[in-house]
Amino acid sequence: MQQIDTAYLLQEWGVWLRVQVGVPRYVSPSYALMRDNVQMSGGLDPCITDDTAMLIDRLVSRLEKRYPEAGQALWNYYRHGISYRHLGKLMGITHVKAQELVMVGSAWVDSALCGHDIAA
């Protein structure tokens, strides 16, 4: 089986969050017909399955319960696709601390992924 990089999975999870793929919600039949039959351009498409994205989502949620600052940093960094400097301003910390929190969160998710069979 091919090894998949955790940073790649987190990045694609962020895209998945931005386009709200897999989010259960009511969609009217008329809207679904229009959405599915109109060619759209410009948006990013996540390159991971819904199952993988939901696994990453669960792991980030567990991280946030255990290490709230690291979980919030990881969420904001990948969800909004912002720089460490902007993340630091958003969280009221330095950009160096923001970068450290993202790295710690990524490492935590990486260790939690051990034992999971993941296919992008």
- Please report, as a single letter, which amino acid is at residue 43: G
In a domain, 1, yes or no: no
In a domain, 85, yes or no: yes
- Name the pTM for this structure: 0.76
pLDDT score of 3 more than 70:
no
In a domain, 79, yes or no: yes
Looking at the 3D structure of the chain, how many domains does it have? 1
Q: What pLDDT score does 117 carry?
A: 67
In a domain, 118, yes or no: no
d(CA 36, CA 120): 23
Render pLDDT for 31-68 as a digit per residue (tens, 0 to 9).
566 556 665 555 677 788 888 889 999 999 999 999 99
In a domain, 119, yes or no: no
d(CA 5, CA 93): 28
Hey, is 63 helix, strand or coil? Answer: helix
Work out whether the CA dihedral 12, 23, 113, 65 comes out positive or negative.
positive
Give the DSSP letter of residue 42: S
